[in-house]
Structure 1
Amino acid sequence: MSKHATRSFLRSFKIKAMKVGFIGLGVLGKTIAKRLLSQGVELVVWNRTKEKALDLGVEIAPSPADLAKEVDTVFLMLFDSQASEGVIFGKGGLTEGGLKDKTIIDMTTNHHAYVQNAYRELKKMGCSYLDAPVLGSVIPAQKGELTILVAGDEEKFKEHKHLFEKYCKTIYYVGEAGSATKLKLINNLVLGGFMEILAEAIAIGEKAGFSKDLIIEVLNSGAGKSYILDVKKQKILEEDFSTHFSVELIYKDLHYLQDLVKDVEGFTFALQNVKEAYGLAKTVGLKELDFSAIYKIFKALSPMSFL
């Protein structure tokens, strides 16, 4: 190799080694991307709506395929498994850019069957796939205090742990691909269920003549004391339902969980009712609001009276 060719190779390697790809700049994805940037990680990004990436001040790839050519590691934070599949395997997707010896870290809350299939298909291409959903939302992401569940090849988990440490306080390696997604969906039954029951209790308390402040204070001193009430009480008090984690997302996650319950031959009394409460919220136009907006359903004299 000539001296010029050697310098070009080393320069290309250095650029690739310094950069990490990031795809999916929704509310949480963008917050994580900003956190990584603040921790000294250089990003090249792609987002379906390019305008959402402009204020990051980073390189924006023309397509996922183009992004894949520049980096060895790609983070995904997308709405659902259909979006993940499109970005990875679809036209102009990551696979078209070449994924041999690269790693995809998929933080999307996926369907468990999709994750297992994606892992197998990418492994055939020589690509590693880490199933890596996070627990938590915007505020802990800003502080680097998310929890992450990671499944897939343990060697690749260890190789990328230094990146997880930049935005996560608690990190779990949980085994084979699909395991992290299953745990995330189980977690979100509690998340969605707790938010729904708190909303019911607060609304009923108000109808019984108590102030919202007093109800929340009593719940926070008693059976309602929880992380969820701590982080959502101001939203309910002020009825500011700007989105940290949307109604539409929790509904999608609970729908995926129904398939998991069926596959493991389990049963649940709560899941259907909790899911359909968020389904009602979607139907009446609340789908893009924070999932704490479920409170509006129970506060209303009838489900349609606040429209």
Structure 2
Amino acid sequence: MAIGFIGLGNLGRAIASRLTDMGEELKIYNRTKSKVEDLNYEIKDSPKQLIEDCDVVFMCLFESSAVKNIFEMEDGLLSADLTGKTIIDLTTNHYEMVLDFHQQIDEKGGDYLESPIFGSVAPALQGLVTIVTSGKKETYELCKPYLEKIGKEIFYLKEPGKASKMKLINNLCLGSFMATIAECTALGEMCDIEKPKLLEILGVGGGQSLVLKAKTQKLIEEDFSAHFSNNAIYKDLHTLQDLAYSLNQPLYSAAVPKELFGKMKKDGRGEEDFCSIYQLFKD
């Protein structure tokens, strides 16, 4: 049976492409149908129609409010009979709202697997992302073969909400590393060190990281087409601060990167790749 897929943005398209490459047939729903007419998939008119045709539906949306809309809109997922249906949600959700999603799907007789993606477009196309999953153990075991088609590393944290919290914690590293690498790059150029050589040296020195490895060529070429946008990292760091507040835990290293990415959004650069924060330091 075909797999359903909702949310064909940059990351969603990459994951859908990977599933197709791995032999899966996809049927899709996207809020703006015109944005997916170039894709060679059967397009459904509503989430309800999609899940009635598919036992497993992936979602890859920007934030929890978009997930909520897909659930509760007219002819949304919750309007369907979800008995025997499974929703694998790859969205980076709010750690509190995702608890409602577990409950809502459970009450409708379906299964919900909270499975945020760690990684962006390039690794997603190759099936090299990391996935952290929360939900019922039996649902995880049944869906693991699907997850293994799109992810290299799969981790299971049973308790609902923990996968979303882990994703936010990971993105503290991601945003902080990117801000530091960007500032180092701009500073090195001010010292008349050629950017390719500078990044090569950082890549075997203190800057060695998956972040630098993934963004070196984009920084050299100043190609800021989005794999992971400034809007997305800003949203995640804001949610991370909500999490820290709920725990009465101050966050020191998250505050400055969050505001730097906020400045990118304010300057109209929110849709650019988050490595474009380099422009703040260069300018």
The residue type paired with residue 211 of structure 1 is: E
1:224 equivalent in structure 2: 207
Q: Offset of 1:158 from its aligned partner?
A: 0.3
Encode CA deviations 1:199-245: one digit per residue, 9 max, x unaligned: 01111121233221232122112100111111101111110111111
Encode CA deviations 1:8-58: one digit per residue, 9 max, x unaligned: xxxxxxxxxx11110000001011001111111111100112133223312
The residue type paired with residue 81 of structure 1 is: S
The residue type paired with residue 128 of structure 1 is: D
2:86 equivalent in structure 1: 103
The residue type paired with residue 214 of structure 1 is: K
What is the distance in 2 between the residues matched to 1:180 and 1:92?
A: 28
- Whether the 8 Å contact between 1:67 and 1:97 is mirrored in structure 2 is no
- 1:65-80 matches, within 5 Å, as 65-80=48-63
What is the distance in 2 between the residues matched to 1:51 and 1:134?
A: 26
Question: What secondary structure, in the 3-state scheme, does the structure 1 residue paired with 2:113 have?
Answer: strand
Q: Give yes or no for the alignment of 1:286 onto 2:269.
A: yes
What is the distance in 1 between the residues matched to 2:119 and 2:173?
A: 13
Q: Give yes or no for the alignment of 1:36 onto 2:26.
A: no
Q: Offset of 1:159 from its aligned partner?
A: 0.3
- Whether the 8 Å contact between 1:34 and 1:56 is mirrored in structure 2 is no
2:103 to 120, 136, 150: 120
Q: Offset of 1:71 from its aligned partner?
A: 1.2
1:305 equivalent in structure 2: none
Q: Offset of 1:192 from its aligned partner?
A: 0.7
Q: Offset of 1:86 from its aligned partner?
A: 0.3
1:272 to 255, 260, 263: 255
Relative to the length of structure 1, the TM-score reads 0.90
Q: Offset of 1:99 from its aligned partner?
A: 1.5
- 1:291-306 matches, within 5 Å, as 291-300=274-283
What is the distance in 1 between the residues matched to 2:128 and 2:219?
A: 23
1:181 to 157, 164, 167: 164
Question: What secondary structure, in the 3-state scheme, does the structure 2 residue paired with 1:56 have?
Answer: coil
Question: What secondary structure, in the 3-state scheme, does the structure 2 residue paired with 1:69 have?
Answer: helix
2:233 equivalent in structure 1: 250
1:171 equivalent in structure 2: 154
1:233 equivalent in structure 2: 216
2:115 to 129, 132, 135: 132
- Whether the 8 Å contact between 2:241 and 2:251 is mirrored in structure 1 is no
For these two proteins, the number of residue pairs brought into alignment is 283
Question: CA RMSD, aligned part only?
Answer: 1.1
Q: Which structure: larger Rg?
A: 1
Question: What secondary structure, in the 3-state scheme, does the structure 1 residue paired with 2:38 have?
Answer: helix
Q: Offset of 1:100 from its aligned partner?
A: 2.3
1:158 equivalent in structure 2: 141
The residue type paired with residue 38 of structure 2 is: D
Question: What secondary structure, in the 3-state scheme, does the structure 2 residue paired with 1:166 have?
Answer: helix
What is the distance in 1 between the residues matched to 2:103 and 2:78?
A: 14
Relative to the length of structure 2, the TM-score reads 0.97
What is the distance in 1 between the residues matched to 2:20 and 2:200?
A: 38
Encode CA deviations 1:98-138: one digit per residue, 9 max, x unaligned: 22221111100010001111111221111111110011111
Q: Can you give the 5+ residue segments of structure 2 that lack an aligned partner in the other structure?
A: none
Question: What secondary structure, in the 3-state scheme, does the structure 2 residue paired with 1:270 have?
Answer: coil
Q: Give yes or no for the alignment of 1:141 onto 2:118.
A: no
- Whether the 8 Å contact between 2:115 and 2:134 is mirrored in structure 1 is yes
